[in-house]
Chains A and B, each alone.
Chain A
Amino acid sequence: MTKQIIVPFGPQHPVLPEPIHLDLVLEDEKVVDVIPSIGYIHRGFEKLVEKREFTEYVFIAERTCGICSFIHGATYCQGIEQIMGIQVPERANYLRTIWSEYSRLHSHLLWLGLYADSFGFENLFMNAWRIRERILDVMEQTTGGRVIQGSCKIGGVRKDISNAKLAEMNRDLDSIKREMEELTTVFLKDDTVIHRTRNVGVISRQDAFHLGAVGPTARGSGVAIDLRKTGYGAYGELDFPVITDSCGDCYSRCLVRCKELFTSVDIIQQAIAKIPDGPVDVKVTGAPNGEFFMRAEQPRGELVHYLKGNGTKFLIRSRIRTPTLTNIPPLVKMLQGCDLADVPVIVLSIDPCISCTER
């Protein structure tokens, strides 16, 4: 039998912007087992609900993750609104949807860049991030923040976008779309990229389902789950497909995300066309009494915010289950049997967001 050796991967590693530690058990160049350990960036802010008023906690919920911050804030607000029975104005719902989809665009472009970097395609990394800056510009113009927006509040949104600005965003998206088409062609058609990603980190549909994969990781293996189809926010009134692919390798997961970029553009353009006029918030009185599981689709998959209040200004429990946490068991499965050199590509292919995972 070949001698087994353990190679530590992380927590400080060139390919990872965030710390996660994996002990890779190797037999020669093959990875036979992986032992993940997390906890390097655990902060424990779920407990802060006991110290912060539920209206202030929106800011903390947003800082669960700096990449999909808006979606975290919106999910928390929607959960509280469900408990308190608040009817949010239609325009606010549409604005939330528009900002959520912009978040998804920025997150997927960010991921495409990091992914390109993981297989050493530096130029592609830079290009993806160049396009991403255009998305962030829109975020900054409409909310005032580049990555942490703070524009969502319980009962609606803090800021309105004028119809003239919406029309401008619509036009802008057409040109962003053209740039993204050029970018994704390289990811999907370039021979070198295909060689590095095809049949790497394969996970079957059954394994993905049983191990609890969510988001593009599940959809890349053919599991058609997309929480946006439950119709929260304004998604119920918009028409969009659930993108899946059947191969379950790194290429499939990349393909799903590439196609989702265009779905997001389409959703934003539909929302801009349909957005009704009216107020963007309602006055909130009282305090939440009851509990609710709010589920939403984050760029990485299904996000769950569990909230429980007892009629005071302070909630008694908040629990956030983020997509990366459930994607770690599928990741371990993917890594078993792969080459050591493919580990960075496979780890990146689930789009790990560690600060979400550890909260």
Chain B
Amino acid sequence: MSYLTKSPWILHYDASSCNGCDIEVLAALTPVYDVERFGIINTGNPKHADIFLVTGSVNEQNREILKNTYDQIPNPKVVIAVGICASSGGIFRECYNVMGGIDKVIPVDVWVPGCAARPESIIDGVVKALGILEEKRKAMKIPAGDTA
């Protein structure tokens, strides 16, 4: 992980989750799991973010917001689908207002399993995403540590 010279920042968006995964995302940031000690910060601003954490499945009303938020994140960026709802719709798959996983709207790089996803697996997903972020950075020919 020597390429990690800058702290990756996270943007979290709740597409239509039951809250279970959202509070576990926040739990990963707070003292017991504390990913902030590695410089991973939950930012509210898409323009500051590198990693896009999405919980819950998409529906007609929020697909534009999801797409819009994704477009505002500067390249290189990675998307993590947290929880089974974000991956496929999960227990709500057959509901009339659920279109399915978020990969119907934006490209997903990492899928985190679980209902609700545990903080450990969310952290695991973020670590996987860091490797993908680095590959994307190389593909864009940006020197390591330089902000794009």
Contact = CB atoms under 8 A, between A and B. Distances in A.
Interface of A: 11-15, 17-19, 39-45, 47-48, 51, 59-60, 63-67, 69, 110, 113, 125-127, 129-130, 133, 136, 145-148, 353-356, 358
A130 B31 contact: yes
B62 A11 contact: yes
A59 B20 CA distance: 13
Nearest to B119: A146
A64 B18 contact: yes
Most buried by A among B17, B91, B116: B91
A17 B31 CA distance: 18
Contact of A14 (B21, B44, B56, B97): B44
5 contacts: A13-B44, A17-B23, A40-B59, A41-B14, A66-B19
Contact of B116 (A13, A19, A41, A148): A148
A60 B93 CA distance: 11
Given A41-B16, A45-B92, A147 B62 contact: no
A157 to B, nearest CB: 20
Majority-rule SS of B interface residues: loop
A17 B26 contact: yes
Contact of B94 (A48, A63, A146, A358): A48
A39 B91 CA distance: 19
Contacts of B13: 12, 19
A326 B92 CA distance: 24
Most buried by B among A12, A18, A59: A12
Contacts of B20: 63, 66-67, 69, 147-148
B98 interface: yes
A41 B62 contact: yes
Contacts of B94: 48, 51
A60 B91 contact: yes
A17 B13 CA distance: 7
A67 B19 contact: yes
A42 B17 CA distance: 9
B95 A44 contact: yes
Most buried by B among A51, A126, A355: A355
Which of under 10, 10 to 19, 20 to 34, or 35 or more describes the interface residues of B? 35 or more
B64 to A, nearest CB: 10
B109 interface: no
Given A11-B62, A147-B24, A147-B116, A17 B30 contact: no
A45 B95 contact: yes
A262 to B, nearest CB: 22
Most buried by A among B20, B22, B98: B20
B139 interface: no
Given A14-B44, A43-B98, A129-B26, A19 B65 contact: yes
B97 A43 contact: yes
Given A12-B65, A15-B44, A17-B23, A65 B18 contact: yes
B91 A59 contact: yes
A31 B12 CA distance: 28
Query: Which 6 A-B pairs give the minimum distances between C-beta atoms?
Result: A14-B44, A66-B20, A66-B19, A129-B30, A41-B16, A130-B31
A65 to B, nearest CB: 5
Nearest to A64: B18
A136 B98 CA distance: 30
B118 interface: yes
Interface string B76-93: 000000000000000110
Given A147-B24, A148-B116, 7 more contacts: A14-B44, A18-B22, A43-B92, A66-B19, A67-B23, A136-B27, A147-B23
B24 A39 contact: no
A5 to B, nearest CB: 22
A207 B118 CA distance: 41
Most buried by A among B15, B21, B57, B95: B95
B115 interface: yes
B45 A113 contact: no
A42 B91 contact: no
Given A14-B44, A19-B65, A147-B24, A44 B97 contact: yes
A179 to B, nearest CB: 12
A82 B37 CA distance: 50
A40 B23 contact: no
Nearest to B89: A43
Most buried by A among B18, B22, B98: B18
Nearest to B62: A40
B96 interface: yes
A133 B27 contact: yes
Contact of A11 (B22, B65, B95): B65
